[in-house]
Structure formats: C-alpha cells, structure tokens
C-alpha cells in the first residue's frame, strides 16, 4: 500500500533576520516500506504543495480530501527522539 510520510527534520535560522526560522521537511512516498521518492522542501507552503502533488499524481486525490492514514506527519520533536540514544 502506498503512503506519504512527512518528517519535520530541521529548523533553519536566518543569519540576516535572526527572528526568521524556516522548517525543513523530508517528504517520502513509500510503497509498503520501499521508498519510491524522497524530497527535501523548505517551509509549510512548499511541503503542502508537494504533498498535494503526490496525492494527485499517485492516488488521484485532490483538495486535501484524503483517507486517514494515507499521509503520516512526524513532528520536529518526534523526529529528534531518534537521536536520543546516540
């Protein structure tokens, strides 16, 4: 079964504008557990555009009207827990 996993993998701070922080997202398209594609995007707008494109191209779904469990989002704090044992 195909699914999309979105991981908020980093927070980038601007050197010019110290208050500006941009989220980095890793967006994976998986078929069962086999990666079909993986892309890094920056910012919520680009993340949403890529997820929408993957949904349209691979599932024929648009307008964010997708089935529960088709898109899994991993928050930044959840992503960081994988490094706790290191």
pLDDT digits (tens, 9 = 90+) for 23-61: 999 999 999 999 999 999 999 999 999 999 999 999 888
pLDDT digits (tens, 9 = 90+) for 63-80: 655 566 799 999 998 888
CA angle 36, 42, 21 (to 5 degrees): 150
* CB of 5 closer than 8 Å to CB of 47: no
């Amino acid at each position: 079964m195909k699914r999309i996993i979105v991981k908020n993998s980093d927070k980038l701070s601007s050197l010019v504008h110290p208050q500006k922080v941009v989220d980095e997202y890793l967006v994976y398209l998986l078929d069962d557990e086999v990666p079909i594609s993986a892309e890094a995007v920056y910012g919520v707008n680009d993340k949403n555009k890529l997820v929408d494109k993957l949904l349209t191209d691979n599932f024929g779904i648009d307008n964010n009207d997708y089935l529960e469990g088709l898109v899994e989002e991993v928050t930044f704090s959840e992503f960081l827990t994988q490094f706790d044992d290191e």
